[in-house]
Amino acid sequence: MPVNADASDKVLIRRHSAFNTLRQPLFYYSPESGQLEPAPTPGTEASGWLVDFEKVVSGAKRVIFFRRDGDSCVSLGRDVFVIGGGRSSIAHTRGILFSELKVMDEARREHVVKYITPWWRLIFDDGSHPDLQFPLEAFSIQYGKECVSCGPGAVG
């Protein structure tokens, strides 16, 4: 299992919903075990996003983007990767029929989530809310780029 993140504590994450942006449920996520537990405090600031509504053709059925100890991380199913700083990298490709989220791990192996691209997202995507139309793409950019204010090698 290509886990290259320190996974000793739980992380508070929010389930992404393009249809209900004001009431997105919170969960405690344990990268070590892959377990999700509902969080009782809905107004709390989350440090990550759960995306689990895409129609996945191959790969992990859920993707979790989160920050821990200054690192940006992504979980594909039960595999956790630290993004940037010479470790893992992340990219998204938007297609007419299928879109892909790819993580390249430290050993240069690709981990791919391939999902059906909903036609209405392509039609209604005017670029104003990329996280609503293509959340995997938006979060891969947000969590995958170098963070200037975080210090050397950090991403954010």
pTM for this predicted structure? 0.82
Contact by Cβ (8 Å): 134, 99? yes
Domain spans, the chain: 11-149
- Per-residue pLDDT band for 155 (boundaries 50, 70, 90) equals very low
R_g of the chain computed on alpha carbons = 15
Q: What is the mean pLDDT of residues 111-127?
A: 86
Looking at 12-26, 73-87, 122-136, 138-152, which range is the least confident one?
138-152
Query: Which of 74, 9, 13, 73 minimizes the C-alpha distance to 42?
Result: 13
Q: What is the pLDDT of residues 3-56, one digit of tens each?
A: 444 434 789 999 887 776 667 888 999 998 889 998 877 667 788 999 998 999
Question: Which pLDDT score is estimated for 105?
Answer: 93
Q: Is the pLDDT of residue 67 over 80?
A: yes
pLDDT mean across residues, the chain: 82
pLDDT band at 154 (very low <50, low <70, confident <90, very high): very low
Instruction: Quote the pLDDT of residue 42.
Output: 64
Cβ–Cβ under 8 Å, residues 86 and 95: no
What is the rounded average pLDDT of the residues 101-116? 95
